[in-house]
Amino acid sequence: MREDGDMNLDGMSMDHDIEQLVALAMGLSDASDRSAAEAHLAGCPTCRQELQELREIDAAIRRVPPEAFLEGPPADADLVLQRVLREVRAPPRLRSGAAAASSVWISGADARTGAELVAAVAEAGHGVRLTAVVVGVPAGERCTLVVIDRTGTRYTAVRWIAPECGAGGVQGSAPVRIDDVVAVAVLAADGSGIIS
Amino acid sequence: MRELYEKHAAAVLAYAERLTRDRGAAEDVLQETMLRAWRHPDVLRNGKGSVRGWLMTVAQRIVIDRARALSARPTEQEEDLGAAPPQRDHSGRVIEALEVIDAIRDLPEEQKAVIMHLYFCDSSLLDSSSALDVPKGTVKSRAHYALRALRKSISGSVNTEGRAAE
Ligand SMILES: [Zn+2]
């Protein structure tokens, strides 16, 4: 499995401990392994380089949605397929929108953070219920979805921690009448706007 | 079409369902994704390309675009929000992440099993080692080979498929 190799690690020499590096990159090492590895890394640019590359690929794997590894057709298989096949054969038609009269869609993207938000705001009781899809938030970020009313007051609808892939759906509610909702925003833990 | 559906529909549907939190909406997204695939046969003919990644990226775009298109009643603020420029960069990053999917699916079984345990089943090193019935050191060295192989295939296939998703 040795490659053109920027590094020859396969010998498992006493110097370069590749298993330790992998464990370190993937966050699998315990405290004593970690300090041993760090001691070696301090004096070994080759291993530092390798660690850096392993960490990059580790991060890329963590961005993959876990659903990606489901195989096969959905359990109640054929319905959607039938619809697809029908549509493939029929001329295009306009589908009616999913938004009921008492709900409104809000969407936005933030040029600075690169994050995107799409939220459905629906009337529910005396307030609103929100279903939002948020994409492009740094993994692990503590997010708050807030509803802003006419007076500028912010109501927290839901808090969550961004998943590794940065994309996720959340639901929440706020005690604001739907007609008074003027904006929806996603805030980071420090109160700065991720999307606003 | 049937073959494509039978291979990938469960993954696309589950992903869409997580994004929309709505089974009916997710089915619509799956349907639209399959239709787009049908209209872009080039993507599918590219042999080993990132079909799964392409489909999931398309599904994600559909969720976003559809909600945008439905944006009703543009009041001042909503118009502000909606007027932001489209995030091409961001969608590029997502596609890059999804490239990893096919690379993982193509790994040799032993390495794939290690990756699935450690990353997607939340197993510890010890759990993985006993589940796979190999020593912890073997888990780590397989993980290493897997990471190196993934890095190689991802850097080697800077995607052409993804662009078709635009
Ligand atoms: Zn070293």
CA-nearest residue to A72 within chain B is: B7
Q: Are B147 and A79 an interchain contact pair (Cβ–Cβ within 8 Å)?
A: no
The percentage of residues in chain B with a pLDDT greater than 90, rounded to a whole number, is 36
Q: How confident is the model at residue B144 (pLDDT cuts 50, 70, 90)?
A: very high
Give the C-alpha separation, B39 to A25, whole Å.
41
Partners of B149 on chain A (C-beta within 8 Å) are 1
Q: How confident is the model at residue B41 (pLDDT cuts 50, 70, 90)?
A: confident
Smallest Cβ distance to B78: which of A56, A87, A106?
A106
Q: What is the dihedral of CA B34, B4, B41, A92, to 10 degrees?
A: -30
* Residues B117-140 pLDDT 10s: 999 888 899 999 999 999 999 999
Nearest CA to CA, how far is B149 from chain A (Å)?
9
Q: Are A84 and B38 an interchain contact pair (Cβ–Cβ within 8 Å)?
A: yes
Question: What's the complex ipTM?
Answer: 0.71
End-to-end CA, chain A:
48
Q: Are B90 and A135 an interchain contact pair (Cβ–Cβ within 8 Å)?
A: yes
Partners of B118 on chain A (C-beta within 8 Å) are 26, 28
Partners of B30 on chain A (C-beta within 8 Å) are 74, 80
Determine the pLDDT at residue A138.
Answer: 75
Q: How many angstroms separate the alpha carbon of residue B135 from the centre of ligand 1? A: 23
Nearest CA to CA, how far is A124 from chain B (Å)?
17
Q: Which residue has the tokens 């401990």?
A: A17
Alpha helices in B21-50 (DSSP H): 23-39, 41-45
Smallest Cβ distance to A28: which of B86, B96, B125?
B125
CATH: 1.10.630.10, 1.10.10.10, 3.30.470.20, 1.10.357.10. Which one for B91-155? Answer: 1.10.10.10
Determine the pLDDT at residue B12.
Answer: 93
Query: Which residue ranges make up each domain of chain B?
Result: 2-72, 91-155
Partners of A113 on chain B (C-beta within 8 Å) are none
Q: Which residue has the tokens 């492009």?
A: A136
Q: Are A80 and B60 an interchain contact pair (Cβ–Cβ within 8 Å)?
A: no
Q: Which CATH class is domain B2-72?
A: mainly alpha
Query: B105: which residues sit within 8 A by CB, 6+ positions away?
Result: A69, B52, B112
Element (H, E) at A128: strand A127-135
Return per-residue pLDDT of chain A as tens, 196 residues: 444 444 444 444 457 888 889 999 999 888 888 999 999 999 999 999 999 999 999 988 988 888 888 888 887 757 788 888 887 776 544 333 333 335 666 767 777 777 777 777 777 777 888 777 777 777 777 888 888 888 888 888 887 777 665 666 777 788 888 888 888 888 887 777 777 6
Determine the pLDDT at residue B108.
Answer: 95
CB–CB contacts below 8 A, A to B: 210
Q: How confident is the model at residue B49 (pLDDT cuts 50, 70, 90)?
A: low
Partners of B9 on chain A (C-beta within 8 Å) are 72-74, 77, 80-81
Determine the pLDDT at residue B73.
Answer: 39
Determine the pLDDT at residue A39.
Answer: 92
Whole-number average pLDDT of chain B: 76
Q: Are B147 and A57 an interchain contact pair (Cβ–Cβ within 8 Å)?
A: yes
The percentage of residues in chain B with a pLDDT greater than 70, rounded to a whole number, is 70
Determine the pLDDT at residue A156.
Answer: 84
Determine the pLDDT at residue B122.
Answer: 81
Probe site for chain B from A8, A57, A151 (most B CB atoms < 10 A): A57
Higher pLDDT, A48 or B54: A48
Q: Are A28 and B77 an interchain contact pair (Cβ–Cβ within 8 Å)?
A: no
Determine the pLDDT at residue B78.
Answer: 39
Smallest Cβ distance to A133: which of B63, B90, B144?
B63
Sheet of A193-195: strand order equals: A154-161, A142-149, A181-187, A193-195
Give the number of residues written for chain B. Answer: 166
- Which tokens belong to B146? 């897997």
Query: B91: which residues sit within 8 A by CB, 6+ positions away?
Result: B57, B61, B165, B166
Partners of A61 on chain B (C-beta within 8 Å) are 100, 104, 115, 119, 150
